[in-house]
Amino acid sequence: MKNNFGTNISWTLFGESHGPAIGITLDGLPAGFKVDMEQIKSDMDKRKATGKISTQRHEADEVHILSGMYNGYTTGTALTILIENQNTKSKDYSAFHGRLRPGHADFTAFEKYNGYQDYRGGGHFSGRLTACIVAAGSICRQILKSHGIVIGSHIESLYTLSDIPFSQDSRVLEKQIQEVNDKTFAVIDDQVKDQMIQEIEKAAAEGDSLGGILETAIIGLPTGLGEPFFDSVESILSHLIFSVPAVKGVSFGEGFGFAKLKGSQANDAFRFNDKIETKTNHNAGINGGITNGMPIIIHTCIKPTPSIFKTQESVDYLSKENVDLKIQGRHDPCILHRARIVVDSVVAFGLLDLYMSRLAIKPLQGDFE
Amino acid sequence: MKNNFGTNISWTLFGESHGPAIGITLDGLPAGFKVDMEQIKSDMDKRKATGKISTQRHEADEVHILSGMYNGYTTGTALTILIENQNTKSKDYSAFHGRLRPGHADFTAFEKYNGYQDYRGGGHFSGRLTACIVAAGSICRQILKSHGIVIGSHIESLYTLSDIPFSQDSRVLEKQIQEVNDKTFAVIDDQVKDQMIQEIEKAAAEGDSLGGILETAIIGLPTGLGEPFFDSVESILSHLIFSVPAVKGVSFGEGFGFAKLKGSQANDAFRFNDKIETKTNHNAGINGGITNGMPIIIHTCIKPTPSIFKTQESVDYLSKENVDLKIQGRHDPCILHRARIVVDSVVAFGLLDLYMSRLAIKPLQGDFE
Amino acid sequence: MKNNFGTNISWTLFGESHGPAIGITLDGLPAGFKVDMEQIKSDMDKRKATGKISTQRHEADEVHILSGMYNGYTTGTALTILIENQNTKSKDYSAFHGRLRPGHADFTAFEKYNGYQDYRGGGHFSGRLTACIVAAGSICRQILKSHGIVIGSHIESLYTLSDIPFSQDSRVLEKQIQEVNDKTFAVIDDQVKDQMIQEIEKAAAEGDSLGGILETAIIGLPTGLGEPFFDSVESILSHLIFSVPAVKGVSFGEGFGFAKLKGSQANDAFRFNDKIETKTNHNAGINGGITNGMPIIIHTCIKPTPSIFKTQESVDYLSKENVDLKIQGRHDPCILHRARIVVDSVVAFGLLDLYMSRLAIKPLQGDFE
Amino acid sequence: MKNNFGTNISWTLFGESHGPAIGITLDGLPAGFKVDMEQIKSDMDKRKATGKISTQRHEADEVHILSGMYNGYTTGTALTILIENQNTKSKDYSAFHGRLRPGHADFTAFEKYNGYQDYRGGGHFSGRLTACIVAAGSICRQILKSHGIVIGSHIESLYTLSDIPFSQDSRVLEKQIQEVNDKTFAVIDDQVKDQMIQEIEKAAAEGDSLGGILETAIIGLPTGLGEPFFDSVESILSHLIFSVPAVKGVSFGEGFGFAKLKGSQANDAFRFNDKIETKTNHNAGINGGITNGMPIIIHTCIKPTPSIFKTQESVDYLSKENVDLKIQGRHDPCILHRARIVVDSVVAFGLLDLYMSRLAIKPLQGDFE
């Protein structure tokens, strides 16, 4: 509901881009998990703005855990993360109040909150809030990892440039995930990295912006996570991924490619080795909305950042006049390289929520005796 | 949670393919809405299996409203719809118990429910349950329509064949939605209809199946529906659409096409006429997760039906042996033409849920005085 | 929310007193539990109207399980119970439409549903719906019992008459619970039974009604159930008990008696025998909202049935005129003896919901290794 | 769920007694409400520890609003309140780690969190967290008051001493509510105030503690709030009140007194003046779980503070040995005078949550046209 999501664990997000602080409360975490603060810092760094390919707003993004942790371990009570806003230049925005930035939430925020929204820097709609999601997601990913579940994303395509896709070979895939998780700019093929960065810098120079597609892989999942209706794994993960700003498309496995396959090509045959597996993985580890133990593969399309420096046609909401708009301030010409860890984080949250419910989804003899 | 979804209104789905009955409970509906039973019947007919392009299981699908309606009006209490299962041939399945149908939920159901699931005809995972969703969705669509919100879908592509996409011109779009809603086989271009039917029949003759892409349009929406985190319009609608069996991809507006656009191409400029509108609608009526009053355009990829009659490699879950599987029974060679009304129904539910909350999203002066 | 309650398991209640049927959907039950249909029937009988001390409306109350059960075991999917309404005499009520019965929901239903409510026999507000709660509660109690958790209630007081209270001695208490669970009229002291029945018959003869207090005991609970905020055991159980019609007071342990105790008298000292226990149990097995393993003792006050046959001052909602009202129809002069199993049922539901979450509430080492 | 509650608006509570800070997030508030910070301060003062009748821990309890407010108005996004912990003396507790304080949550916290809980000062179970509830509740009460709904509580009884109960006369009641809301020690009869304070000081001198009963009244309510199942007004309010530490009994109107009334005495006759009202108000403004427009009257029993300074029998959880326990530190000999505003706050939250849903509960013609 609204700024809260989750069944077995929940998180509640709060804050505005130029308010005193942003934060998130993770509730329902198990007690006794040792939180790796260094890992949180390293995950926060993956989201950090750096160089010419990101905004010039640089925030320390120091993570303060206000509750739910004691002596380095989760206590089992609500864990709240606070991140202060420091490098705010609100005057950049004051002039714009009323002038609707195309592609942004300015207009819808006016309509929804009737002008009472904190409009500075996009307020509650700012990508800034994803910093909290990354910090909370890092804890979720640490818990999942301690149970053998590993998540990783890379930039599969940026504008016209493409990276190598994740491998079908599970051993290779595991290695690729590890590698991209160690990189700041997450691509498998390092040569395409430089081209992508140049492409972003070129767009930035033009005062324009770029989008692309992230590919996310999850390995080490148990079978049986998810519900037939209405909480299929696809439903829960897409719900969370689509809550990340700028996401406009989500697909699983062959995704939209299924449209051009026949059933005989789309089905994944079962084979029994030491355990039951599928020979192929077109359905990306999910049958009937429930995990079958194979890797989950997700594609997420992120639109080009709406903040561009070209002059755009717009409207002043307050004077109700048409205006020519030239955006000032500090913006990202592309967010794919920063968004990848945000997608990993919401996916981790969704999977941990499902994972925590496995008692209830397994039969009595399994659970209660 | 599980078989229940919704915040302001909720629905709860129950039943198995070969049990005595399937049903759904709609809770939180406003009192005093006159339900059009004829419209429900007509919507149910759009989902009905017909001819060679669908399963040979033909069900009367008579809709019984057990509660929440009195003298033809909603009472405001929980409204339960019951549909009996009549034309069941369970023997078709008994032989298969343990033999996992590729692409189906047989394996994951075994893992999740440890063999206690009702496996007949896919049990709770059967597309059969979408009959309840269509009946409940019809009521939601009637309420939305009484407030000027209209939803319609067509088969944009089926295997290699494509229909005309929905128009960018709002007047034309309105007409197109009306037309496809009047058709049993929802395509805009009637010529492609016959080709698509032939293509399905051809696949059926080969014992194979086909998938494709549905395009859904919603017009007449107010501004301000949806929440920034975590209940964006995209989040709520994708959650519901991905709970429909066989859906593997969902996108909004330009969807995955955004990856190859620059910000200057992707943004929708604002213009003030009698009210604020966007000149283009790449973002499909949604900015920052909230409706801006323009049409919402959704693309949904539906994979080819996993039930094919070709011999497939599989495993017997009980004997843990590899087997060659040849599926018996009655199945759909394609479900796009039946699924279109199911997608309309879940979309209607999600939008009505958001619509019911507009009190809470509008400011006090607006609401409470 | 509304007709739905629960976090780990949920139930959704639907139906009206004079509609075709009433029902309930239990969602989130573990798969593989063998349901004892005989036990359900025996629990339903405890709620049945009998003799002169209950309404003359006699219903078969046959329980139909439409889903979520296969071959006698829970499947793990939504389990729906349907009970048909047969012995309805709606004409008894038609005359009353608009004439507000004091103490009933007639007025509030008019105000809430603006006249669209099904007013026949109280519609959705009828105690009739508790039949579904008893059937669903029976399944919950069976699951709890299979884990050693047993619930029982007796009529501690009826008007001026009192039964023996539950014993502080755990061995005696266990025996008392067993005894009252075997009785149709649940009192510990059989002599007070006849006096109570005479008192009810006397009130019935006067066209009046009586209320009283139920005492409920739960034994065999594990430690650690419940949440500090906002889902304390007291919060969850009182929420459910207060949803039972006619309940006006709920207390735990010494309850309102705590007001006249000092801390030194109210505290329960801890002692270590083979395990940690409290020497006394004033706090009724709950500290800080969480179970400590001792018996939970609840007192529930049930007001006298509002349906009396004396002439009462009232208003006709439609004509807005004051009227003298003399209620016709078939009513209970007292519901304590029938309500006791309803309270057991909602308590069972609430405890099972908390019990199902114990994975999430226990620390990682316990759960995940 | 856990630390989160609410349907239309929700709040999420976090923090521990001796952690860096405690806080609460209010989500779903309407935009555009002017928050009166002075009123929040004055409500916080009512909860403040003062004199010999309260703990010697004195906290500034300065309320920081981190989000959801801009230029003094609610923005409609999640509003987070933070209160720092300053006057903490953790060493007082370190010695006690393992030594279970009778009547406290020490034992259940150990069992639930397996020793990972922050035990200092009761950690998350501390009454300290109610400071956040008072701050958030103050905003809820301000919104309700702007719609004519007013809440007030007084100490109806403390140990053997009793105050004058709230009047049945609505004009007098309104005046009494106003008066008690202006008082720090909330009693109607100022003479009993001094006796009560002496009684508390006497108990404190003995190293003992006292409890009592709060009476809460709500006036100005619209009709139609609440749901028949499972969210009756009694259910929602009792759920919230029982989440307040030390509450052991909650009743409405005649409460447990209904047990000794006959139906003819318990029913509230309806009479039409300019609008429909009841002549008496035994049912405390609630019929069938829904408000009828008359005042709601609630009684809440608060047990004597478990922290007493007498030597008590206990157990050391870690060494599993019986011990004699003498509690050190700073504690309240009575919390009634501080708890009254906490009860007002949770009641305000519950009523505002129900109030926000009135769109959904009123029929279409009323709402949508």
Would an 8 Å CB–CB cutoff place D263 in contact with chain B? no
Domain assignment present for C320: yes
Q: Inter-chain contact C238–D243, Cβ cutoff 8 Å?
A: no
Q: How confident is the model at residue A366 (pLDDT cuts 50, 70, 90)?
A: very low
CB contact, 8 Å: B78 with chain C?
A: yes
Cβ neighbours, 10 Å, residue B52: 11
3-state secondary structure of B92: helix
pLDDT tens profile A67-106? 999 999 999 999 999 999 987 765 656 667 899 999 999 9
Best of D229, D364, D367 to disrupt the B interface (most B CBs within 10 Å) is D364
Report for A323-337, C119-133, D345-359: range of highest mean pLDDT: C119-133
Cross-chain CB nearest to B359 (options D143, D356, D365): D356
Report the distance separating Cα A198 and Cα D127, nearest Å.
57
Q: Chain A to chain C, count of Cβ pairs less than 8 Å apart?
A: 64
Q: Which residue has the higher pLDDT, D259 or C54?
A: D259
Chain D: residue whose CA lies nearest to C7: D1
- Cross-chain Cβ contact A3/B227 below 8 Å: yes
Q: Which residues of B are annotated as a binding site for FMN?
A: 124-126, 288, 303-307, 330
Please indicate whether, in this complex, the C-beta atoms of A30 and C360 are within 8 angstroms of each other.
yes
Structure confidence at residue D90 as a pLDDT band (50, 70, 90) = low
Which residues of C are documented as binding site?
47, 52, 124-126, 288, 303-307, 330
Residue C32: list chain A partners with CB under 8 A.
363-366
Rounded mean pLDDT, B36-45: 97
Name the token pair of B130.
Answer: 């979408």
Which amino acid belongs to residue C178?
Answer: Q
Answer for the pair C150, C219: CB distance below 8 angstroms, yes or no: yes
How large is the average pLDDT for residues D308-334?
A: 92
**Mutant choice from C16, C256, C310 vs D, greatest count of D C-beta within 10 A:** C256
Q: For residue D136, what are its two tokens?
A: 């958030």
Q: What is the mean pLDDT of residues C207-225?
A: 97
Average pLDDT, rounded, for chain D:
92
Give yes or no for A9 touching C (CB within 8 A). Answer: yes
Residue with tokens 């496996």: B119
Say whether A282 counts as a known binding-site residue: no
Contacting chains of A (3 CB pairs or more, <8 Å) are B, C, D
Q: In whole angstroms, what is the distance from residue A354 CA to residue A289 CA?
A: 12
DSSP string, A242-255: TTSTTEEEEEETTG
B191 confidence band (pLDDT: 50, 70, 90): very high
Please give, rounded to a whole number of angstroms, the shortest distance from the CA of A71 to a CA of chain B. 31
Sign of the four-CA dihedral A194, A196, A199, A201: negative
CATH number of the domain to which A181 belongs = 3.60.150.10
Which residues in chain A have their CB less than 8 angstroms from residue C228's CB?
77
* Phi, psi (deg, nearest 5) at residue A259: -60, -30
> Of A361, A362, A319, nearest to A97 (Cα)?
A319
Give residue-wise pLDDT tens across range D268-292: 999 998 999 999 999 999 999 999 9
- Residue B81 pLDDT greater than 80, yes or no: yes
pLDDT number for residue B166: 98
C273 touches chain D (CB under 8 A): no
Which tens digits make up the pLDDT trace of A98-148? 999 999 999 999 999 989 999 998 999 999 999 999 999 999 999 999 999
- Inter-chain CB proximity D103 and C248 less than 8 Å: no
B322–chain A nearest CA distance, Å: 6
Looking at the predicted structure, is the pLDDT value of residue A211 above 50? yes
Judged by CB atoms closer than 8 Å, whether chains meet at C80 and B14 is answered as yes
Quick check: C364 and A77 CB within 8 A?
no
Partners of residue C15 in chain B, C-beta under 8 Å: 66-67, 78, 80
A47 marked ligand binding residue: yes
* Residue C207: Cβ within 10 Å count: 16
Residue B103: which domain range?
4-357
**Is there a contact between D4 and A4 if contact means CB atoms under 8 Å apart?**
yes
Cβ neighbours around C274 below 10 Å, total = 5
Provide the pLDDT confidence category of residue A233 given band limits of 50, 70 and 90.
very high
Angle (CA) C4-C10-C13 rounded to 5° is 40
**How many CB pairs lie under 8 A apart between chains C and D?**
377
Q: State the angle between helix axes of A233-241 and B233-241 in degrees (0 to 180), rounded to the nearest 10.
A: 170
Burial classification of residue D163, based on how many CB atoms lie within 10 Å of its CB (0-12 exposed, 13-18 middle, 19 or more buried): buried
> Looking at chain C from residue 102 to 121, which residues have their Cβ under 8 Å from any Cβ of chain A?
none
| A163 closest CA partner among A198, A215, A236 | A215
Residues C55-79 pLDDT 10s: 877 888 999 999 999 999 999 999 9
Which chains border C (3 or more CB–CB pairs < 8 Å)? A, B, D
- Tokens at residue D170, please? 């609505």
- Structurally, chain D folds into a number of domains equal to 1
Domain-located, residue B165: yes
Separation of alpha carbons A257 and B348, rounded Å: 26
Predicted model pTM: 0.96
Q: Is the ipTM of this complex over 0.90?
A: yes
Which residues of chain D does C116 touch, with a Cβ-Cβ cutoff of 8 Å? Answer: 363
pLDDT for B96 equals 72
Please choose, from the candidates A144, A152, A142, A201, the residue with its C-alpha nearest in 3D space to the C-alpha of residue A173.
A152
The pLDDT of residue B356 is 87
Q: At what angle do helices A336-356 and A233-241 cross, to 10 degrees?
A: 140
Q: Tell me the nearest-neighbour CA distance from B293 into chain D, angstroms.
A: 18
Give tens-digit pLDDT for A274-297: 999 999 999 999 999 999 999 999
- Closest Cα of chain B to D306: distance in Å? 38
DSSP collapsed to 3 states, chain D? CCCEECCCCEEEEEECCCCCEEEEEEECCCCCCECCHHHHHHHHHHHCCCHHHCCCCCCCCCCEECCCEECCEECCCCEEEEEECCCCCCHHHHCCCCECCCCCCHHHHHHHHCCCCCCHHHHHHCHHHHHHHHHHHHHHHHHHHCCCCEEEEEEEEECCEECCCCCCCHHHHHHHHHHHHHCCCCCCCHHHHHHHHHHHHHHHHCCCCECEEEEEEEECCCCCCCCCCCCCHHHHHHHHHCCCCCEEEEEECCHHHHHHCEHHHHCCCEEECCCEEECCCCCCCEECCEECCCCEEEEEEECCCCCCCCCEEEEECCCCEEEEECCCCCCCCCCHHHHHHHHHHHHHHHHHHHHHCHHHHCCHHHHHC
Q: What percent of chain D has pLDDT over 70?
A: 95
Question: Can you tell me the distance from the alpha carbon of B100 to that of B103, in angstroms, rounded to the nearest whole number?
Answer: 9
Chain A residues near residue B280 by CB distance under 8 angstroms: none
Contact of C84 with C132, CB cutoff 8 Å: no
* Residues with Cβ within 8 Å of residue A77, at least 6 apart in sequence: A67, A68, C228, D3, D14, D16, D113, D117, D118, D123, D124
Give per-residue pLDDT as tens, D237-253.
Answer: 999 999 999 999 999 99
Tell me which H or E stretch contains C167: none
Chain D residues 27-46 within an 8 A CB cutoff of chain B: 28, 30-33
